[in-house]
Amino acid sequence: MDHVALRGLRARGHHGVFAREREEGQTFIVDVELAVDTRPAAAGDDLSKTVHYGVVAEEVVAIVEGEPVELIETLAQRIADQCLKHQAVREVQVVVHKPDAPITVPFDDVTITIKRSRS
């Protein structure tokens, strides 16, 4: 299987357990890796036989900017579910970064990584 990757998609969301996170919002960064058989698209130079990564990027940002959830695990699952709606996508790995998580000690990043496949 081939892989199409989008790295560093940024959007402001209002996800989190704490009221401050819900009210003020924060930046989330998302990486998605889509497992796709690109041979049919390459053979005919045909976008309709692969996944349009521009559309996927817009969908991911819309989810992050959309309905708030408490957990980044839930956010990652929603993103994975949307990616798998694209017929060409067989499997997806989603990494959600929460670099401004409300942690009281110094840190670089908080992430959740999930991998989902078509059932």
Are the beta carbons of 15 and 29 closer than 8 angstroms? no
Q: Annotated catalytic, 115?
A: no
Q: Which of 49, 85, 98, 115 is catalytic?
A: 98
Instruction: Report the side by side order of strands in the sheet with 111-117.
Output: 2-13, 26-36, 89-97, 111-117
Residue 75 burial (CB count, 10 A):
25
Angle at 44 between CA 34 and CA 9, to 5 degrees: 25
Q: Which residues are catalytic?
A: 98
